[in-house]
Amino acid sequence: MIADVGKLNEETVRLLQEHSMTISAAESCTGGLFCALITSVAGASDVLNEGFVTYANTAKMKYLGVKESTIITYGAVSSETAYEMAQGLYERTDADVTVGITGIAGPGGGTAEKPVGLVFAGICVNGSTEVMEMRHSGTRDEVREKTCRCVFEKIISIVSAR
């Protein structure tokens, strides 16, 4: 497990340290894996503020401010929900970077419109939020790992460009 992430978690922690930035995450389908990968790196306490596993829709609304109307209209697995997760976390924490991950890791739960492996991640850096859509194949663990890899890559790309 975690081989797919490589050293991206280490690079993310190092880069956030260099830029004196902190990070918080709200995870649904990754179930805390993203934060676990950060905390596996020495020096993580310099950058990680907090993490939430907001698996239930009620938790997304309660802790992150995701609107019930967003979940009803677009679903928990949507770019709109991922955006509100990341933006809501940014508004509620002191982190410079916030991440909201929601998706369908499988093996069940997928539909024709939203298949297993569909994941959305909202990434907010200093108040500016963008959402990435991913479509992964593989086992439940592989979908979760590939998601974390892609999110780390995106954070590295955004922060490096600053």
Domain count across the chain: 1
The token pair at 142 is 């592989």
Instruction: Name the band, by pLDDT with cuts 50, 70 and 90, for residue 5.
Output: confident
Continuous H helices in 3-139 = 8-18, 33-39, 57-64, 68-74, 79-92
Query: What pLDDT shows up at residue 4?
Result: 64
Task: State the distance between the two ends of the chain, measured CA to CA, in whole angstroms.
Answer: 32
Determine the structural domain holding residue 106 and report its residue range: 3-77+86-160
What's the whole-model pTM score? Answer: 0.96
Closest CA to 141 of 45, 7, 36: 36
> What CATH number is given to the structural domain containing 138?
3.90.950.20
pLDDT tens digits, residue range 131-148? 999 999 999 999 999 999
Mean pLDDT across the stretch 15-39?
A: 98
